[in-house]
Amino acid sequence: MSEAESLVPIWPMLVVPTLQVLSDGQSRHRREVFDAVADYANVGDEARAETLKSGGTRFEQRMGWALSNLSKAQWVDRPERGRYVINDAGRTALAQYPTGFDYALAKRVFAPFWPEKTASNSPSSTSDRPTDELADPIEVIEDAISRIETTVGEDLLERLRNSHPDFFEQAVVDLLLKMGYGGAAQRGRRIGGSNDEGVDGLINQDALGLDQVYIQAKRYKEGNNVGREAIQAFVGALHGFGASRGVFLTTSAFTSGASEYANKVPSRIILIDGSRLVELMIAYRVGVQEEKYFSAVEVDEDYFN
């Protein structure tokens, strides 16, 4: 999710609400501050539920960055581990910046408190867009990874569209097995061929094959979307096997009629279009490999307790 799509305020917009919450002079635990700022800034449940790929929530990550900058500017004190209290400098700042911060003002105000190398490399522009020094570093990393995955996804999709039908059918079976379907024994196989009876693959969820998931894979060019008729044919094939569940995957997309039909039939049909297909392949590392691995660190508060 890009910054423009996020419902969570950028961290500079959380600075003044944090100071307001602490303005009564009471010492508050980090968690108390987060909850109080969410209420004060009208950050709803949906926004607070936004997650990062690293597993944390976007709101908590941005609040952590806001508190970090408040601490660096010495506008708040930490009387004990995990607790924050406003000081005189913070009260002065609250009176000086009552309308809050955008990226441009935050850069001017907080850059002097950043490490010398970071501050000296900070662009002199007053743009209201974030630089790497202003944006949360975890979000910067995740945004960069997201851009890489978008490019890789486009390449994957093109390769799948140009692959042999047998290869594509095997690829989707490999994906479902990697996702955990078929159990540890990897009970899945490509069917394909002229006698496939309308299905391209089969996953046995249990050792005896009592619980089965059938697969249909359509290797279509962009714009050649799967229509209702193809889904109807797949449902008919499932009935022929006495099955009630299936996964239909394509390298293109589905028409609205196809999606509506899949949602209405008693059989449980999952539709996966090209965009979702490559997302899953990247997430489960099918057809891709990790080029580099990055890790982030933070101070272990328990160590210093």
Write down the domain spans for the chain.
3-135, 164-283
Query: What would the CATH number be for the domain defined by 164-283?
Result: 3.40.1350.10
Token pair in block for residue 111: 């850059």
Would you say the C-alpha torsion 183, 186, 192, 195 has a positive or negative sign?
A: negative
pLDDT at 121: 47
Contact criterion met (CB below 8 Å) for 203 and 187:
yes
Q: How far apart are CA 261 and CA 282, in angstroms?
A: 29
Q: What is the mean pLDDT of residues 104-125?
A: 68
Q: Tell me: the pLDDT tens digits for 9-48?
A: 999 999 999 999 999 999 999 999 999 999 999 999 999 9
Output the CA torsion 267→273→279→283 (10° steps): 30
pLDDT at 138: 78
247: nearest Cα among 231, 230, 269: 269
181 Cβ neighbours under 8 A, 6+ residues apart? 188, 203, 205, 213
Query: Which amino acid type is present at position 39?
Result: D
CATH topology of 3-135 equal to that of 164-283?
no
Q: Tell me: the pLDDT tens digits for 66-96?
A: 998 999 999 999 998 889 999 999 999 999 9
pLDDT at 114: 78
pLDDT at 196: 61
Q: How far apart are CA 275 and CA 171, in angstroms?
A: 15
CATH 1.10.10.10, domain 3-135, yes or no: yes
